[in-house]
């Protein structure tokens, strides 16, 4: 009997060990696969070629952003409007750093709204977006933003006459950009504290912090900022939890750079309100506050 019991116990132990080994292999394989394809889970570019700027934005023109690593990226420049809604503080531009999806064709609406308020606008597309060469990464997007700053300066809008408007992932791009090229102001739409916090929210069963190669630490940059800042976010955001955006606003407030916190109770991440007059009006208020 003792031998039989021992044999049964040994069999159970072997089965458990086999189960653990198989589980470990599956988990390890999953982690390895996610490490290899992680950027495909972060960046969702619309690679389609876009039309000439003048076809969709009257007066707009195509510009080329030349990056330090040798890429030539398409972008659109829209001159300032002169209508009744034009902002009295003329001579200002807005650099729009988009989120992780689509391309600049989807930002025509916000460009028109900003132009009506008297701002010139540069709609950039990152590498890999909108027919541009290259593949996106944190370092790559930083180089793309640097090239956009150079292009705006050549058009007569140096950083001190430019508002950096970041949209979601673009918030991380402009939060870091302000350290390298100090702007007139920064506008953060749907920011996160750092990319790993968003990943942990959507994939709580994965060691996201250990896996991510691209970190995008927004809150750290905001904490060290002395640039006037507005933070806008929606409470129904299904992509970036509203609590993360609120933490960024709190950090800006502690750093004494928060000009305004705009909270939209019914807005989701990509609702039309996030690309329209509410955003443009808040940009105008930001510029007025710093004047």
Q: What is the pLDDT along the chain (291 residues), one digit of tens a residue?
A: 455 555 565 566 666 655 655 544 444 444 544 544 455 568 989 999 999 999 999 999 999 999 999 999 999 999 998 654 544 445 899 999 999 999 999 999 999 999 999 999 999 999 999 999 999 999 999 999 999 999 999 999 999 999 999 999 999 999 999 999 999 999 999 999 999 999 888 878 777 777 788 899 999 999 999 999 999 999 999 999 999 999 999 999 999 999 999 999 999 999 999 999 999 999 999 999 976
> What gap in Å lies between CA 65 and CA 76, rounded to an integer?
10
CA distances from 203 to 34, 39, 196, 222 (A): 11, 15, 10, 26
Q: What is the model's pLDDT at position 173?
A: 98
> What gap in Å lies between CA 165 and CA 172, rounded to an integer?
10
* Helices 138-154 + 169-180 axis angle, to 10: 60
Q: What is the model's pLDDT at position 107?
A: 96
Q: What is the model's pLDDT at position 26?
A: 40
Place of tokens 């010139």: 120
* Helices 242-254 + 195-202 axis angle, to 10: 160
The answer to whether the CB of 147 falls within 8 A of the CB of 73 is: yes
Phi, psi torsion values for 97, nearest 5 degrees = -100, 110
Single pTM value for the model? 0.86
Strand ranges in the chain using DSSP code E only, listed in sequence order: 44-45, 61-66, 72-78, 93-97, 101-102, 120-124, 162-167, 185-189, 229-234, 258-264
């Amino acid at each position: 009997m003792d031998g039989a019991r021992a044999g049964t116990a040994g069999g159970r132990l072997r089965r458990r060990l086999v189960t653990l080994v198989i589980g470990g292999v599956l988990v390890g394989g999953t982690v390895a696969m996610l490490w290899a394809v992680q950027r495909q889970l972060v960046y969702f570019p619309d690679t389609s070629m876009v039309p000439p700027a003048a076809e969709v934005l009257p007066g707009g023109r195509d510009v080329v952003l030349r990056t330090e690593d040798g890429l030539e990226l398409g972008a659109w420049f829209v001159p300032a409007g002169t209508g009744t809604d034009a902002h009295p503080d003329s001579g200002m531009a807005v650099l729009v750093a988009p989120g992780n999806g689509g391309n600049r064709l989807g930002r025509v609406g916000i460009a028109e709204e900003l132009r009506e308020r008297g701002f010139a606008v540069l709609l950039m597309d990152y590498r890999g977006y909108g027919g541009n060469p290259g593949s996106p990464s944190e370092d790559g997007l930083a180089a793309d933003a640097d090239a956009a700053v150079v292009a705006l300066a050549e058009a007569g809008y140096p950083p001190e006459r430019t508002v950096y408007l970041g949209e979601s992932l673009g918030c991380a791009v402009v939060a870091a950009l302000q350290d390298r090229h100090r702007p007139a102001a920064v506008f953060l739409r749907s920011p996160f504290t750092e990319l790993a916090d968003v990943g942990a929210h959507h994939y709580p069963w994965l060691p996201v912090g250990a896996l991510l190669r691209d970190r995008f630490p927004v809150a750290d940059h905001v904490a060290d900022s002395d640039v006037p800042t507005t933070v806008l976010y929606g409470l129904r955001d299904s992509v970036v939890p509203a609590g993360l955006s609120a933490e960024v606003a709190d950090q800006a407030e502690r750093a004494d750079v928060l000009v305004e916190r705009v909270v939209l109770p019914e807005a989701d991440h990509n609702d039309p309100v996030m690309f329209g007059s509410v955003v443009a009006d808040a940009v105008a208020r930001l510029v007025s506050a710093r004047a």
